[in-house]
Amino acid sequence: MKIQPEYSFEKDSTVWAVIRWKNAENGNGLVGEKIKTFILKDDARKEVYRLNGWQDFRLDFSHNWNGKLHGKAFTSIRLWNERKYQIDKEYDIYLNGFRRGRAKLVSLKRIKIHQINEHIARLDTGYSAVECRELIRKMYKNKSIDWERQELAYCLFVFMDEKTELFDY
């Protein structure tokens, strides 16, 4: 028997509604109450994950740096998060909102931004180490980050079910 999570989301006319589910007063089934609305589906999904206390193992890419999502394996440099990035965990990979496939994290290295060398930078982004560091700073410009102390996760993922042939980015 499938257990209904306390929160879910669904399309409601032109918006996405977050629904809180409760047992019906008569004891027959569940009753849903709309508690929030979002314009974007992804915002509603993120709120449902937060409210249910779920860990989100989805990785979103806005750009296919160096064409890396076309291969069988790829790297990614992200802010360090030991709860999210764990060896052998599987992640759903999205590029501009489209699912590219499922990948397993096979290697994880903790680095600082000054440790990004030509090897790491060129493989991950196709840019020089200096350009790559600047790119990362720009990606997180809206966060208050002390780059002297901030740790990064240098991740190596291997696709498990490739969807790379569907798109030609």
Amino acid in position 132? C
**Whether the predicted pLDDT of 169 surpasses 70:** no
Residue 68 falls inside a structural domain: yes
Number of domains in the chain: 2
**Is residue 117 in some structural domain?**
yes
In a domain, 146, yes or no: yes
pLDDT digits (tens, 9 = 90+) for 47-85: 998 898 887 788 999 999 999 999 999 999 999 999 899
Q: 64 with 125, same domain? A: yes
- Is residue 169 assigned to a domain? no
Reported as half-sphere exposure (CB side, CA atoms, 13 A), residue 119 has a value of 2
Could you list the residue range(s) of the whole structural domain that residue 43 is in?
Answer: 7-52
What is the arrangement of strands in the sheet containing 15-23, beginning at the earlier edge strand? 7-12, 15-23, 30-38
Q: What was the pLDDT predicted at 2?
A: 61
- Asked if the structure places residue 1 within a domain, the reply is no
110-139 pLDDT tens trace: 999 999 999 999 999 999 999 999 999 999
123 in the same domain as 140: yes
Residues 36 and 88 occupy one common structural domain: no
